[in-house]
Structure 1
Amino acid sequence: MDNKPEKLKNVKKVLVLRTDHIGEVLLSTVVVDAIKKHYPQAHITFATSSLAKSIVEAKKGIDEIIVFDTLGNRNLWPSLFGWYTQIAFKGYDLAILLNSNKFLHLVVFLAGIKTRIGFNRKWPFLLTHKISDVRAEGSKHEADYNLELLETIGIKESGFKPELKVSDLEKNNIRGLLSERSVDLKKKIIVVQPGSSFVQKRWPKEHFVELIKILLDHYDVNVVLSGSSEEFELCDDITKQLDKKVYNFAGKLNLKQLKSLLSIADLLIANDSGPMHISAALGRQIIAIFGRGTKGTGPNRWGPLSDKSIVFHKPFECSDCYNEKCPYDFKCLKAILPQEIFEAVVINKLLN
């Protein structure tokens, strides 16, 4: 670890940057809690993606949010000046860069932020404090890797978990929306998230169909399918294979509404995905399904940070988990059987 100074003094304004997917951004918010613990009067600005903005808005301790859209965009030169105008001459004492991106490194350097901490890759010479990026090894949780970065400025913390709050108004609004779709609010609600950002994370559609059939045969509950608009067809295919009524809300909810739905759900069954992390941060019950066996891709690094979660993961000795065309036909995911998950619901009394 380069440069191990004493704890920084007189930190009044902090810029935290994490500009990628929902789960990654949410797991980065633990840094906000650590900064507030050590600098309770500090003004914290969080730069994030437009995709994750509404999640950051629900995080206590953040004073200002700005949008830097780096996700899926390799040519960010046209965006650089706009970012610069948002952070230059604002008096930031500290910038914390939680996803390595040369354009983010460059803009905080050009903005003249005195202390700039991040991981030792992608133009790290623009940083004042840095550590080796060993996150791909997956020896600890992503949230702890984020906290470890603060050791470069004399802050050593661990054990923080993301926390989100949902107001009573937001809960009532989502209940109203469910009622409009004839969801019986007197019954318990199971939210099922069959999609994920990568095909390597997706439990087979047929397994979801079988699991939902078993659950509806044994419990008088509502099953609500959630997902993005791109996942509507996947959810629609699932509903068409079921005899009993389920509700397809894929593409029908914005992220704020999804957060509200998860806050009132009795159980979420999901692949490794953003909604899984949101539900964990809300303190709700979760069954999380993980594939992939490559180091740094499994639940040891990316699992839900919640005591109310049950994780299913059956990794094999594979080494190509970043390939969308799995040479082993996703046997790690297929090995997790619907009956196993149903038994976990029963044994742990998740719907009692």
Structure 2
Amino acid sequence: MKVVVRSTNWIGDTVMSIPALKEIRRIFADAEITLCARSWAKEMLEGADFIDEIIAFDKGNNPTKNFLKQAKLWHEKKFDIAIILPNSFGSALLAKLGGVKQSFGYATEKRSFLLTKSFPVPKWKSERHEAFFYLNLVAEIEKALSGKSSVSAEIPTPEIPVPEERRKRALEILESYGVDSSRKLVALGVGSTNSLAKRWHTDGYAELNDLLQSELNVNVLLLGSKDETNVAEEVFSKAKLKPVNLVGKTSLGEAIGILTAVDLLISNDMGLAHIAPAVGTKTLVIFGPTNEKTSRPIGSEIIRKNVECAPCMLRICPIDHRCMKLISAKEVLSKALQLLT
């Protein structure tokens, strides 16, 4: 049997779907399981034993052409079952055009006619962690195919395998930037590519950097993607004690390796905040507009202020960004100290 899983589109969502991917492997133990995902997933999930193959699917400069090319590839691979994790109409259409024998997903965006079997979105979706949303889909699929479900109600911790050579490469990168290996290392994730409202203010990160270095005597580095270069440079310019700025200078695979070498990641609600605890790194996430009930990185600690307008889920704050501005650098430092000792 050949099973294809249409993965989620963001790094954090993909990490939150790992428990579901592991259940798919358990249920379809003898199947060949292919993950159709964004190209960065190959770096993130290299060596994962719950996937046999990853095929990249990026929109690129010509989304329609790339979509049809992907559908043709699915046809060629002759998949028996498609499990559609995203809620989009297009992801279900891909399974239909790809000629998959049976396709399953949630009944969203009026796409049920494209799927062999669709399932209603659980009423509890906004009250439980997103990982349960994906696990519930797998449970419904197992029930539809076998008449019963064996999917656990307990949420397992996502684990991302990190090859030894990637860990060694991370240490080489840190050494090349002059990071003192005799001191503890704290990484700051100051960006967020899909929401400006998720970002704690740059003054706060700059002050936190100075406090971490002056009061705790730790190394501090900035970590993130090329899309977050501007905000990282702003933090760097405001910092009195300069951190090591690696934002935009590493691949995702290298960033994952570096996360295995740091003692603590402090970040906004972003992809790296989900990856860090999945590779065993202590993580403190600064929450503002998003709902920690549904999207808190599993295994992380959080800090947030209870304000009347949060969680609003908006990408740009229309007022004064109070949910973030009320969080002080000293509060974050205090929480960081607890996690470092």
The verdict on how the C-alpha distance between 1:219 and 1:148 changes in structure 2, with shifts beyond 3 A counting, is same
What is the letter of the counterpart of residue 291 of structure 1?
G
Tell me, what secondary structure is at the counterpart of 1:52?
A: helix
Measured after TM superposition, the shift of residue 142 of structure 1 is 0.9
Answer yes or no: is the 8 Å Cα contact 2:223–2:246 preserved in 1: yes
1:117 and 2:104 correspond? yes
Amino acid in the other structure paired with 1:98: L
Residue in structure 2 matched with residue 340 of structure 1 by the alignment: 331
Identity of matched residues, %? 31
**For residues 317 and 243 of structure 1, what CA distance do their matches in structure 2 show?**
34
| TM-score normalised by L of structure 1 | 0.87
Contact 1:135 1:145 survives alignment (8 Å):
no
Query: How far apart are the structure 1 equivalents of 2:181 and 2:37?
Result: 35
In structure 2, the partner of 1:299 is 292
Which runs of 5 or more residues in structure 2 are unaligned? 144-148
Quote the RMSD (CA, aligned, Å): 2.1
Residues of 2 paired with 1:137 and 1:272: CA distance? Answer: 19
Describe the shift of the 1:325–1:113 C-alpha distance in structure 2 as closer, same or farther (beyond 3 A). closer
Structure 1 residues 139 and 310: alpha-carbon distance in aligned structure 2, compared to 1, 3 A threshold: same
Question: SS where residue 16 of structure 1 aligns?
Answer: strand
Shift of 1:345: 2.3
Verify: 1:287 aligned to 2:278, yes or no.
no
Give the counterpart of 2:25 among 25, 36, 44.
36
Q: What's 1:9 paired with? A: none
Q: Which of 3, 7, 11 is the aligned partner of 1:14?
A: 3
Check conservation: 2:6, 2:86, Cα contact below 8 A. yes
Q: Does 1:77 align with 2:64?
A: yes
How far apart in 1 are the matches of 2:65 and 2:180? 50
Distance 2:36 2:189 in 1: 27
Post-superposition Cα deviations, 1:212-269, rounded to whole Å, max 9, x if no partner, equal 1211121221101012223223222222223323100011001000000001110000
Give the gaps of 5 or more residues in structure 1: 1-11
Paired residue total: 331
Per the TM alignment, residue 137 of structure 1 is displaced from its structure 2 partner at its CA by 4.8
2:214 pairs with 1:202: no
Report the residue type matching 1:196 in the other structure.
S
1:191 counterpart = 2:151: no
Instruction: Give the aligned partner of residue 240 of structure 1.
Output: 237
**Separation of aligned partners in 2, 1:193 and 1:127:** 39
Alpha-carbon offset, residue 164 of structure 1: 0.6
CA contact 1:190–1:267 (8 Å) conserved in 2: yes
How far 1:117 moved relative to its partner? 1.0
Determine if contact 1:262/1:279 at 8 Å carries over to the other structure: yes
Q: Shift in Å at residue 135 of structure 1?
A: 8.2
1:314 to 280, 305, 323: 305
Check if 1:96 corresponds to 2:83.
yes
The change in CA–CA distance for 1:339 and 1:303 in structure 2 (over 3 A counts) is: same
Aligned-pair CA distance for 1:283:
1.8
The 8 Å contact of residues 198 and 315 in structure 2, kept in 1 or not, is answered as: no
Larger CA deviation: 199-208 vs 88-97: 88-97
Task: Measure how far apart 1:13 and its partner are.
Answer: 1.8
Contact 1:200/1:321, CA 8 A, preserved across alignment: no
In structure 2, what is the Cα distance between the partners aligned to 1:107 and 1:232?
Answer: 34
Task: Give, as a single letter, the amino acid of the residue that structure 2 aligns with 1:171.
Answer: R
